[in-house]
């Protein structure tokens, strides 16, 4: 997976700090979820693993986020 530019990393860290009160990079470094703080080490597929690298959300929080989004589109 290509590395993100410093500007993109800074933006993602700024947004995550505002949304969840945690720095995204700190969560990635400790393999924890940026939202719930639980370990984020097991994912159901490669897409979910890649999503963690973007958002910092564990599998449970990803499922809740995307399920909510899917329900809103019905």
Tokens of residue 18, six digits: 């505002």
Phi-psi region of 56 (alpha: psi -120 to 50; beta: other; left: phi over 0): left
Cβ neighbourhood burial of 27 (10 Å; 0-12, 13-18, 19+)? buried
Model confidence, pTM: 0.79
- Please give the residue that has the higher pLDDT: either 71 or 18: 18
Whether the predicted pLDDT of 71 surpasses 60: no
* Residue 33 near residue 56 (C-beta atoms within 8 A): yes
């Amino acid at each position: 997976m290509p590395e993100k530019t410093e500007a993109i990393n800074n933006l993602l860290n700024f947004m995550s700090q505002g949304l969840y009160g945690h720095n995204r990079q700190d969560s990635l470094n400790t393999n924890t979820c940026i939202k719930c703080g639980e370990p984020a080490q097991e994912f159901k597929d490669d897409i979910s693993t890649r999503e963690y690298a973007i958002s910092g959300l564990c599998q449970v929080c990803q499922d809740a986020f995307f399920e909510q989004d899917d329900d809103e589109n019905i």
